[in-house]
Amino acid sequence: MLLKHAIAAIAVCTAAICNASPPIYKYVDADGVAHFTDKPDSRRYQLFDLTPKGLTRSGDHYDPGLLARAAQYDAIIEAEAKSAGVEPNLLRAVILVESGFNSRAVSKRGAVGLMQLMPTTATRFGVSNRYDPRQNVRGGALYLGFLINRFRQNVRLALAAFNAGEDAVERNSGQIPPFVETLEYVPKVLKIYQALSEQQQRRQTTLAALPRI
């Protein structure tokens, strides 16, 4: 499954956001390949910072052990992403930031599950049990796909709306609302999405180079 091979990228991402782990640095070489390390040997490396607080939006600490078991949701993510017209890796990135792949996560605001659905959003997209992983991911994927279409394929604005609400983006003249959480949330998700996509691309390149039997 894809996530089984992409989990290395997630592990690299989470190493930078776990309280007990050292910071992770990244640089992209001339061939477009991303390199990660916790011991940079030159100035070409830049800090790969995802969140200074090391928390998911649900308020839980990121847990690499939990993420290593995230493959159990791979089939659900692939299926619901395809159904909603959303890239699977973008969905994974949102889930990572929202809940750290904890299907039982509950935020102080009452958001629940993998994609931290609020009751109104769940009802809007036909989710009767927010704790059910498939229903939760389906509702979250449909909502994210709706937002991407609403904001004319602008993923940054769609993510801002997923975090702060559609009206908040509209009231801010179609810009990311100036909320600290939202301003941190959008680049955080996009960095993880980029890391996962790069990992997938490297794997596909490696497989394509293997001799055919």
Give the catalytic positions in this structure: 98
Structure tokens that stand for 148 in this block: 């991407």
β-pairing, 25-28 vs 46-47, is: antiparallel
Residue 4: which residues within 8 A CB-CB, separation 6 or more?
71, 74
The helix/strand/coil state of 138 is: helix
| Helices 133-150 and 155-164, axial angle in degrees (round to 10) | 120
Structure tokens that stand for 9 in this block: 């990228």
